């Protein structure tokens, strides 16, 4: 079922027994993070622990903090309204693979899909719950129970924001999720790494400002006989930004989905909800945000202003190092009455982001198949923190295909950051790491089957030779063919014959009783 807002989602979690309300006082500085980390790693009960709603937050009377809302497979499926991630992945593949019809019959076949897609487009409404309180002055980010998660963090960080920017050329909106270090009452960092869409929007504006300035100087110089000179550096101007905190689960999830560049995240959220996302215009910037958001921050970044951001305890299990990032200046805050502050923590897995990442994995697979049709399955192991290891099974039909697949993956959006790719045959279950380990280590000749390449690396990778640039490794663990230069016999895998297995199956109930096993 779709959820209209965060509060409806919280009620659903409560009814499903997936939420615990915490009445014991807890400090947003370190303490809430430590409690949540312990709960997410509990060895008893459901994996991932329950969602937590802290209702007695130290220093913030009356405030509530929601955390670990997506921290289990069951809750991720609830959030997406599906019984399996593969079901959802196939739905979104069909939705995103609307090809241009070639003939009249194709057009007729597409009408139901196009009609359905038309229902998901966001719509702008005059107002919404996020406008219940509007503060254009005398506001402070410090009024909200923003967490500091780890001892060496540079301060408090907003960790589950939906950051809205606009492409200056196309006008298309982007919703991304980038952490925001709180510098003071009215400014934060904007941690969009250089490969992210918001960073590209900023670069486009810088280039446009530089070109306009150059053109203006050239016109003035020519009009004055060439005697004029530009003095001083040019100002690159501002880029408007809006930040929605505490959105419904579909909007939150859409902010992390690897969407094709031409599809707005609000449209994906509408698809997930099976109903359009209602948007409202911001008060001080020309952007739209979900009308039911708990909290909205409006403001801008100066395109020529950078400030040291970090360190930050990251999902790698290590602190990401301090670096220079844009500064977000808040010009207005709007929020619901008694807003619920939604947040998350990341660190050594498994944590909440592990379950979000596994859902993205299932979404990403059918999208990958659109360009790599031989893919059978992929696994991004939680301990590989999403960008360090991808295990891929393929239907192999020609020599060198495993290496072709590696290079294809490294050319796909955020998959370009994958540090290690292991390619196996279709009969290997990539979700069973024991089986993968057994077959990979048996199948490879390291010198022959391991290749290295250089390229973009995730900004959080502290081991790469340079920031954002380093090496990657691909392992071809498929069976080798004579056409790949392998002329030795390839042995059969040890498997019991069907007759014997059936015979033992028929006796197993009696045997199990004698053995005292279930």
Active site residues: 314
d(CA 165, CA 301): 11
- CB within 8 Å of 46: residues ≥ 6 apart: 72, 74
- CB within 8 Å of 127: residues ≥ 6 apart: 280, 291
In sequence order, what are the beta bridge partners of 181? 157
d(CA 267, CA 270): 5
* Contact (Cβ atoms closer than 8 angstroms) between residue 416 and residue 459: no
Tokens of 148: 């500091």
d(CA 266, CA 162): 11
Neighbouring CB atoms inside 10 A of 145's CB total 21
Q: In terms of Cα–Cα distance, which of 74, 58, 81, 72 is closest to 8?
A: 81
Interstrand relation of 288-290 and 278-281 (parallel, antiparallel or unpaired):
antiparallel
First to last CA, the chain: 37
- CB within 8 Å of 135: residues ≥ 6 apart: 332, 333, 334
Which residue blocks in 81-232 are alpha helix, DSSP H?
A: 85-96, 104-118, 197-223
* Contact (Cβ atoms closer than 8 angstroms) between residue 145 and residue 224: no
Which string of DSSP letters, residue by residue, matches 392-439? EEE---STTHHHHHHHHHTTSGGGGG-SEEEEEETTS-TT-HHHHHHH
Place of tokens 């995103």: 96
The DSSP letter of residue 75 is: H
In sequence order, what are the beta bridge partners of 20? 52
């Amino acid at each position: 079922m779709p959820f209209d807002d965060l509060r409806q989602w919280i009620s659903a979690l409560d009814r499903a027994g997936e939420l615990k309300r915490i009445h014991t006082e807890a400090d947003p500085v370190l303490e809430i993070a430590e409690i949540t980390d312990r709960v997410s790693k509990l060895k008893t009960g459901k994996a991932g622990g329950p969602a937590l709603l802290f209702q007695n937050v130290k220093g913030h009377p009356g405030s509530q903090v929601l955390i670990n809302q997506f921290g289990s497979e069951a809750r991720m499926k609830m959030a997406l309204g599906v019984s399996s991630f593969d079901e959802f992945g196939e739905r979104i593949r069909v939705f995103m693979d609307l090809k241009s019809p070639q003939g009249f019959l194709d057009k007729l076949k597409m009408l139901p899909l196009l009609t359905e897609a038309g229902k998901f487009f966001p719509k702008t409404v005059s107002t919404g719950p996020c406008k219940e309180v509007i503060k254009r002055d005398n506001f402070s980010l410090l009024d909200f129970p923003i967490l500091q998660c780890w001892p060496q963090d540079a301060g408090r960080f907003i960790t589950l924001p939906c950051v809205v920017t606009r492409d200056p050329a196309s006008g298309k909106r982007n919703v991304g999720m980038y952490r925001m270090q709180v510098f003071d009452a009215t400014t934060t960092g904007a941690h969009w790494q250089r490969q992210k869409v918001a960073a590209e929007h900023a670069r486009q504006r810088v280039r446009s400002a530089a070109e306009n300035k150059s053109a203006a100087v050239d016109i003035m110089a020519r009009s004055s006989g060439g005697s004029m000179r530009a003095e001083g550096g040019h100002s690159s101007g501002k880029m408007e930004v809006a930040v929605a905190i505490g959105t419904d689960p579909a909007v939150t999830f859409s902010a992390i989905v690897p969407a094709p560049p031409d599809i707005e995240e609000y449209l994906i959220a509408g698809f997930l909800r099976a109903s359009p996302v209602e948007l409202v215009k911001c008060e001080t910037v020309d952007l739209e945000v979900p009308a039911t958001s708990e909290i909205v921050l409006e403001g801008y970044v100066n395109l020529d202003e950078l400030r040291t951001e970090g360190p930050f305890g990251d999902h790698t299990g290590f602190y990401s190092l301090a670096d220079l990032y844009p500064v977000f200046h808040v010009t207005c805050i709007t929020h619901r009455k008694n807003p619920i502050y939604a947040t998350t923590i990341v660190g050594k897995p498994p944590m909440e982001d592990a379950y979000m990442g596994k859902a993205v994995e299932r979404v990403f697979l059918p999208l990958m198949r659109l360009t790599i049709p031989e893919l059978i399955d992929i696994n991004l192991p939680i301990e590989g923190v999403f960008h360090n290891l991808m295990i891929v099974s393929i239907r192999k039909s020609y020599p060198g295909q495993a290496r072709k697949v590696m290079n294809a993956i490294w050319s796909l959006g955020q998959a370009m950051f994958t540090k290690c790719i292991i390619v196996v045959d279709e009969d290997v279950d990539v979700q069973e790491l024991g089986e993968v380990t057994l077959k990979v280590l048996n199948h490879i000749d390291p010198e022959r089957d391991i290749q290295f390449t250089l390229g973009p690396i995730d900004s959080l990778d502290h081991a790469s030779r340079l920031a954002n640039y380093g090496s990657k490794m691909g392992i071809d663990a498929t069976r080798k063919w004579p056409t790949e230069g392998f002329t030795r016999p390839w042995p059969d895998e040890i498997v019991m014959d069907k007759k014997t297995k059936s015979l033992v199956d028929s006796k197993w109930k009696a045997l199990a009783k004698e053995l005292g096993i279930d």
